[in-house]
Structure 1
Amino acid sequence: MKTQTFREFRENFLNFFRELFLYHYSSLKFRAKVFAIVISANKEWGECEMNILQKAAVKIYDNQEERVEALISAVKDYINELEEYEYLGERYWIADIKKDIAKHKRFIKKIDIQTLKEFGKCVKDKETRMYQQRVIEFLENLKKEFGEKNDV
């Protein structure tokens, strides 16, 4: 049996209560995955990305401080997971996002391409910027693919 570190215990504890007390937590979790995969495309992410995320969260949740903080925290958790379980690769996370969309069609509306493109301002390296753009293009294609199916 694996023992938990204090950090893991704390994260699990907080996630448990977020899921219980936040309305539409699955939607928030989905948004967090999308933000995390775009932000983590830049291995040297930092304050710039967190500032953009903060502004996006305030805009999404109309200054509902509790939800804004929950989204930011969930994004950081997912980024940590992405970094910790790097061996799974981005394909795993993208497949998870695609699975979420297939299960909850309304989630496709939660992908804001313009906001995701804002994170490109933080990337200094040309190759990293191209990679991040490919991730965003993939999400944009998902929007088109699932959006067209839902509009019919």
Structure 2
Amino acid sequence: MKLGFRIKHYFYNAFRELFVHHHGSLTFRAKIYALIISANEYAKVDNYIIVKNLGLNIYKDDMDRANLLLLSTKELVQKVKDDNGLNIDSLIISIQQDLKAAPRYAKKIDIEALKEFLNLTDDEDVLAYQNNILEFLEKLKKETLGHL
């Protein structure tokens, strides 16, 4: 990535709430992607290519927002891997709290798009775990949208 973008990302990350329009929505999506990616201890680079492509589709070719989504997702996955105060359970709790605060975010859980990540998983146990996460997210989405 370009140096200019990296510098911009540093400032966006430090002051995300001020500089990024709808940062909560972007962060929520990053949490969803990080959850499914983090379930696989041996996540591939291809996972992040999927995130980037989904970001470009969501943000209608706004490269900066797609890159911010990608970097936010990577940051969350790295925190889970490093056991840096974040794990899969706390990520799930954070997603649930976000949905309580902003139920409209449930519309941003795209189960079909999340299934793309499963195609990159070779381990049957990890695949079963990721499928359970998808079922959980689908149920959470339905419950949340049912209360709107």
Tell me the residue number matched to 1:6.
none
- Structure 1 runs (4+) deviating above 3 angstroms are 11-14, 86-89
Q: Is the aligned partner of 1:128 residue 2:122? A: no
User: What's the CA shift for 1:88?
Assistant: 5.3
Task: Verify the 8 A CA contact 2:47 2:117 in the aligned structure 1.
Answer: yes
Tell me the residue number matched to 1:78.
76
The equivalent position to 1:106 in structure 2, one of 98, 104, 107, is 104
Where structure 1 has 5 or more consecutive residues not aligned to the other structure, the ranges are 1-10
Task: Verify the 8 A CA contact 1:18 1:70 in the aligned structure 2.
Answer: no
Alignment of 1:1-152 (within 5 A): 13-85=11-83, 89-150=87-148
Task: Verify the 8 A CA contact 2:12 2:20 in the aligned structure 1.
Answer: no
Q: Which amino acid aligns with 1:67?
A: R
* 1:85 alignment partner, SS class: coil
Separation in 2, partners of 1:35, 1:55: 12
Separation in 2, partners of 1:73, 1:115: 18
Which protein has greater RCO, CA pairs closer than 8 Å, 6+ apart?
A: 1
Identity %: 36
* 1:123 alignment partner, SS class: coil
Deviation track 1:75-112 (CA, whole Å, cap 9, x = no partner) reads 00000111122775422110110000000111101110
Separation in 1, partners of 2:14, 2:75: 13
Deviation track 1:58-83 (CA, whole Å, cap 9, x = no partner) reads 11111001100100000000001111
Task: Verify the 8 A CA contact 1:32 1:72 in the aligned structure 2.
Answer: yes
Task: Verify the 8 A CA contact 2:37 2:47 in the aligned structure 1.
Answer: yes
Closer, same or farther: CA 59–39 of 1 in aligned 2, 3 Å: same
Task: Verify the 8 A CA contact 2:38 2:88 in the aligned structure 1.
Answer: no
Q: Which amino acid aligns with 2:39?
A: A
Closer, same or farther: CA 12–54 of 1 in aligned 2, 3 Å: closer
Report the TM-score when normalising by structure 1. Answer: 0.86
Tell me the residue number matched to 2:3.
none
Separation in 2, partners of 1:136, 1:40: 13
Deviation track 1:94-143 (CA, whole Å, cap 9, x = no partner) reads 01100000001111011100010110010001000000111111111100
Report the TM-score when normalising by structure 2. Answer: 0.88
